[in-house]
Structure 1
Amino acid sequence: MFKLISTSISFLVRPPKRLIRSLSLATEAMNEPIVTVKQGRLQGAVATLHDGSSYYSFKGIPYAQPPVGPLRFRAPQPLQPWQGILNATEHRDVCIQVNLLARSTVVEGSEDCLFLNVYSKSLQPSAKIPVMVYIHGGAYLSGSGNDDMYGPNFLLQHNVVLVTLNYRLEVLGFLSLDIPEVPGNAGMKDQVAAMKWVKDNIAQFGGDPDNITLFGESAGASSVIYHMLSPMSKGLFHKAITQSGTSINDWAQGINGKERAFKIGKHLGKDTEDPKELLEFLRGLPASKLIKLTNVTLTPDEKYRGLPIHFAPVREKKFENVEAFLSEEPLDLILSNKICSIPLLLGYNSAESIIMVQDRLKKLAIFNKTPSYDVPREIVDKISQGKLIEMGERIKKFYVGNRDYSSEDLKEIVQLLSDLHFVYNTHRFAYLYSMHNSSIYMYRFSIESDLNIIKNMSGVDVKGASHADELFYIFSTNMTKEDYESQEKIRDYAWRVTKMWTDFAKTSNPTPDNALGVKWPKYTFANKEYLKIDDKFTESKFADRESVEFWNKLYCEAGLPCISKSNL
């Protein structure tokens, strides 16, 4: 995931032809569920869970106008009503990308991709079933909400409504030119549009519009926290779950957007310093030219410092009559308590960076020579060159002592990169958020089984769960179907994890009863309570304490908001 992943203005006033073509003439039969939403009628399908019970599936539901032609790079525009019945039995195009998870260089998808999927066991508006809306990860440049990765079977056995969605990625979703036409964050505004659609329509699928949990993993997790910070998202959800990501990670924040855009223009053949001229040029290109461009924008420092994720949410300039998704820095908003105060479940995996080890091994000589590349950008901006060199040496010594990194240091490298990119800032965010909210639950996920697809594919022999491994205990996929059906232990793990996630969505408490034999303690900044999600599911205090204290000292020395020494 982190490896490194002309139409006319008539779209504004009438439905696009591809919707008209897809209108179904199907009749309302018992096995062809029909739901009426604000834009028109939808035909779904009936599917079966592992336990034999049935649920309703509605896929490829459009939630905004296709962002093509003159709508490219713009905030999503409201969808116009359609006539007839729209076939919602199959997924539609994903947002154009190179599929990083499949390790493929094949381009897939299209610009016409603003679709969501709804899965529910009831279509009665009176059912008021808790709703879970999932935002996928993929470094803001890969992924979709499709059920090949995010199947509903595990979650629906606990009777929730699940919504998954697509949003624009990389350049098409996160280009920023600092002009009213392209202030940035189009992909985030797509997510808001999908959330508004859910709020307006989910009752027709049995969902409770007043009990919506927003959850996501990696880039999707940082997106969830951005929605907690954005005035555009206010009132659209009521609880949050963030898995392996926050909005205060370097990799979750786009910087120097305009300069990056001009680099893209020059790479593609337009050398200009006029943002409107660049916009006209970029709108005239095929969408296939506007993917996999992050690397051509990297500075010499960015080639080694941090993760190669640079088309990401940005702080927008304020323009008259343009609604901004985010106009202040995330950290400033958190510190000033301009963040939605809702129940939050957050955490990370025990060996997140297994997924990154092979890339780091190729660069060991560079990091042995210049260990300061492991100092986060946020700190670099606050310290002198001498202090930067000194911190780099301290980081290296903390993980491997008075020697160089080697290919034998897999465990140490995994720990270093996990702490740097996930562990510390999860703790830091939890601490800062706890200053204003007491309903927080933290976890550390370390289950290992045949469901740990990412780790098992990596070939890295380090104990623990890799980045994204927990997803296969939450969502059903074809990749894990055989192991799930044949191994009772795996089914038990998935049931326990999804029960906690869905109980949190239902009650704001992941263990409201004694069904799992454990009581997940609330996080406090004094004790940093968390749940070990391992073979035994046990409560504990202060996960990865030694690492967190080390990194916290670096942030404090740089004069950045950090965990108070009195709370360590």
Structure 2
Amino acid sequence: MPCPLLLHLLLLLAIGSSFAQDPPVVELSLGRVQGSTMQSFQGKTIYAFRGIPYAQPPVGQLRFAAPQAATGWGQEEVLKATSDSLVCPQPGISLLMSEDCLKVNVFTRNLDPEEDPLLLLPVIVYIHGGANVLGSGHSLYEAGPQYLLDHEVVFVAFNYRLGALGFLRPLGSTVTGNFGYLDQVMALQWVRDHIARFGGDPENVTLFGMSAGSMAVSLHLASPLSRGLFHRAILMSGSATNHFAIDNVYWTQKLAREVGCPMYEAADVVQCLRDVAWTRIVEVCKAWESFQFVNMKWNYEIDGHFLPRHPTELLAEGNFSQVPLLVSFTANELDYTANVHLENDPLLHDLGSSFEEYAPELFLYQPDSSVSRRLKDFYLGSNVSEISAHNIERFGSIFSDGIIGHGIHRLVQLARRFTPVYYMRTDYVGKRSLSAPTDDQELPLGVGHADDLQYVMPSLWYGTIMAENHTDLFMMKRLTNWFAHFARTGTPLSPKEEHDYWPPCNATDTAMLYNDVATEVGPPGYPERYAVWDELFPTPALGGGVARRQQQLNIVALVAIAWATGVASGLWLFGSAALDGN
């Protein structure tokens, strides 16, 4: 983290942000909670309640265990929820972190004492991203409410356990991992039980995730534990319906070995690791990320509890929460992930010449030379032996598709048969980007991973809140309008936008909204690229005949949409070849 971030966070933690003479107080069954006030982008008063515990601190015997609900503090005390809590342990500045981090932030403009259900507002609950090892629901660092709270919604963000502390999985059946996801379930239960006291409607909750948070949302779609806790879902740049080879046991054993703990017997492993300082655990795991490439070493477990079977199988058979979905990604996602190594010629040469050896670890699949060769041939060319400035973004597009895009594509293809899915790709290149290279005027040349999130909530990743004359302001207004309307109705467009056109994907039709300065609806993007991943990693739940029929339906739908939009000739050739050749 840069020094300015440290200074901002320390300032916030020290003084909060409340200057109201009469701070807001809400009475919960747990006890009374005192908040503070903030201002929305348009200057509306936000009642902010930050750092409310939703679970007991996961320390001692609760480390590497399912979360336990927070206990009340009684009606005699008032909990001061006037500043963000410390964030969960992760690589960064340890003094800003604590294992006592399972806290929730609630932002509302509706503290009307009347308990009329008709006055309750839709609730948006945000699950942060960060590859399951980074991030938080902190209102300054990542999850500011200022843009969304210009609309009639209640906004909730929270922390959950990360890295080994959230996803450790030793051998045996006594410790089954998924602690971070169980934290999320408990946070959703807290929202169900208490959000009405903040003016939110517990019967109208939209679950919203970004990156690893979006992957988490897809898992909550599939999990029986999350049924009924949310009623719509927004997924930005992530889904668990992909090919990932997950081996939490391997990483658990590696961690145990490196800190001198037992490696095999679950009870011994866990008891030893409970005595290791969290700072040491984070330090050891951070050292594994030597190449700085995006990956997910800690991930979900099929544990028979949170997740009975693979999420792809559950979605394929319709065994999931069939709520309206808004699913999006960016045009360039992780295309620029390798650019950090442009000056590292030895590494780039080795990545090119030894692609087949690197690829399984980088793109998260079991070692298979035929898969590696197919990926290299398609993205780089069979004769390529060097990664350079000439082809480094094509190399990056393998990360874009393998880590992000194909999983989202598969989610849409599976879910649309059971529920409406609004599918979007953000093509708009704004003035700020976390990863895109820049031109001579220091303006981004593309729209990378998480660049669209800056239009939904302000964060220190992108610096200050937009100025009133910022050239990207229209995109912030557009996305927050769409998200708020989706949270209220299950569709992104309001009656005021009837001239716009964004049809949902359904069992017979698949369309994508291309979100640029102007919007346009057309066939889904990157079909040839995702077809390669479909070929290499076929949907497990669909047998040969069913899979072939589903592929045919997908291609026919693509051709029909393409014909309607005037680009059918090229896709027709592609579709005919695919139908004849499989």
Q: Shorter-chain TM-score category?
A: 0.7 to 0.9
2:567 paired residue number: none
- Give 1:310's match in structure 2, choosing from 297, 304, 307: 297
1:395 paired residue number: 378
Report deviation, 1:364.
2.5
| Residues 352 and 384 in structure 2, CA contact (< 8 A), matched pair in contact too | no
- Give 1:130's match in structure 2, choosing from 97, 119, 122: 122
Distance 1:468 1:530 in 2: 19
Give every structure 1 segment of 4 or more consecutive aligned residues whose post-TM-superposition deviation is greater than 4 Å: 178-181, 295-298, 303-307, 359-362, 375-381, 400-404, 456-462, 478-483, 556-563
Distance 1:284 1:354 in 2: 41
2:101 paired residue number: 113
| Residue 228 (structure 1) aligned with residue 221 (structure 2) | yes
Distance 2:410 2:38 in 1: 42
Distance 1:147 1:565 in 2: 46
Q: Alignment partner of 1:130: what SS?
A: strand
1:166 paired residue number: 159
Range that drifts further, 135-144 or 48-57:
48-57
Distance 1:150 1:380 in 2: 32
Distance 1:544 1:527 in 2: 17
2:446 paired residue number: 464
| Residue 412 (structure 1) aligned with residue 394 (structure 2) | yes
- What is the TM-score with the length of structure 1 in the denominator? 0.84
- Give 1:440's match in structure 2, choosing from 409, 417, 421: 421
- Give 1:248's match in structure 2, choosing from 241, 247, 251: 241
Unaligned 5+ runs, structure 1: 2-21, 23-28, 100-104, 319-323
1:273-321 CA distance string (max 9 Å, x none): 32211111111111211214446779xxxx99984421111112x5xxx
| Residues 397 and 403 in structure 1, CA contact (< 8 A), matched pair in contact too | no
- Give 1:533's match in structure 2, choosing from 515, 519, 522: 515
1:345 paired residue number: 326
Letter matched to residue 242 of structure 1: L
Distance 1:305 1:436 in 2: 38
Flag the 1:467–1:368 CA change in 2: closer, same or farther, 3 A: same
- Give 1:273's match in structure 2, choosing from 247, 264, 274: 264
Within-5 A mapping of 1:129-278: 129-148=121-140, 149-179=142-172, 181-250=174-243, 254-255=246-247, 257-278=248-269
2:80 paired residue number: 87
Report deviation, 1:377.
9.0
| Residues 520 and 539 in structure 1, CA contact (< 8 A), matched pair in contact too | yes
1:256-287 CA distance string (max 9 Å, x none): x3333222111001244322111111111112
Report deviation, 1:375.
6.0
Flag the 1:448–1:306 CA change in 2: closer, same or farther, 3 A: closer
Distance 2:464 2:376 in 1: 47
Q: Alignment partner of 2:49: what SS?
A: strand
Report deviation, 1:395.
2.7
Flag the 1:467–1:479 CA change in 2: closer, same or farther, 3 A: closer
| Residues 525 and 567 in structure 1, CA contact (< 8 A), matched pair in contact too | no
1:540-566 CA distance string (max 9 Å, x none): 222123322333333359989686144
- What is the TM-score with the length of structure 2 in the denominator? 0.82
Letter matched to residue 312 of structure 1: N
| Residues 380 and 388 in structure 1, CA contact (< 8 A), matched pair in contact too | no
Flag the 1:488–1:513 CA change in 2: closer, same or farther, 3 A: farther
Distance 2:368 2:501 in 1: 47
1:413-471 CA distance string (max 9 Å, x none): 3333212222222112210112322x100000122222434437999987321101111
| Residues 306 and 376 in structure 1, CA contact (< 8 A), matched pair in contact too | no
Distance 2:371 2:401 in 1: 18
Range that drifts further, 147-156 or 30-39:
30-39
Q: Alignment partner of 1:291: what SS?
A: helix
Q: Alignment partner of 2:467: what SS?
A: helix
Report deviation, 1:493.
1.3
1:61-84 CA distance string (max 9 Å, x none): 100111111111111112111031
2:561 paired residue number: none
Letter matched to residue 159 of structure 2: N
1:10-65 CA distance string (max 9 Å, x none): xxxxxxxxxxxx9xxxxxx9621110112111001122222222121000010011
Distance 1:376 1:282 in 2: 26
1:78 paired residue number: 69
Distance 1:268 1:410 in 2: 37
Q: Alignment partner of 2:51: what SS?
A: strand
1:331 paired residue number: 312
2:564 paired residue number: none
Q: Alignment partner of 1:137: what SS?
A: coil
Unaligned 5+ runs, structure 2: 2-12, 14-19, 556-582
| Residues 267 and 296 in structure 1, CA contact (< 8 A), matched pair in contact too | no
1:17 paired residue number: none
- Give 2:46's match in structure 1, choosing from 55, 77, 83: 55
Distance 1:457 1:37 in 2: 50
1:356-388 CA distance string (max 9 Å, x none): 12356544323322333446999955x964x33
| Residues 245 and 422 in structure 1, CA contact (< 8 A), matched pair in contact too | yes
Flag the 1:281–1:463 CA change in 2: closer, same or farther, 3 A: same
Report deviation, 1:204.
0.4
Distance 2:73 2:254 in 1: 41
Flag the 1:47–1:315 CA change in 2: closer, same or farther, 3 A: same
Letter matched to residue 131 of structure 1: V
1:232-265 CA distance string (max 9 Å, x none): 11110000011000012355x632x333322211
Distance 1:391 1:461 in 2: 35
| Residues 355 and 467 in structure 1, CA contact (< 8 A), matched pair in contact too | no
Letter matched to residue 329 of structure 1: H
1:37 paired residue number: 28
Q: Alignment partner of 1:489: what SS?
A: coil
| Residues 235 and 328 in structure 2, CA contact (< 8 A), matched pair in contact too | yes
Distance 2:109 2:267 in 1: 49
Distance 2:551 2:292 in 1: 27
2:458 paired residue number: 476
Range that drifts further, 452-461 or 127-136:
452-461
| Residues 135 and 164 in structure 1, CA contact (< 8 A), matched pair in contact too | yes
- Give 2:352's match in structure 1, choosing from 365, 368, 371: 368
| Residues 429 and 446 in structure 2, CA contact (< 8 A), matched pair in contact too | yes
Q: Alignment partner of 1:564: what SS?
A: helix
1:93-122 CA distance string (max 9 Å, x none): 1101114xxxxx766401000001000111
| Residues 294 and 337 in structure 2, CA contact (< 8 A), matched pair in contact too | no
Range that drifts further, 348-357 or 541-550:
541-550
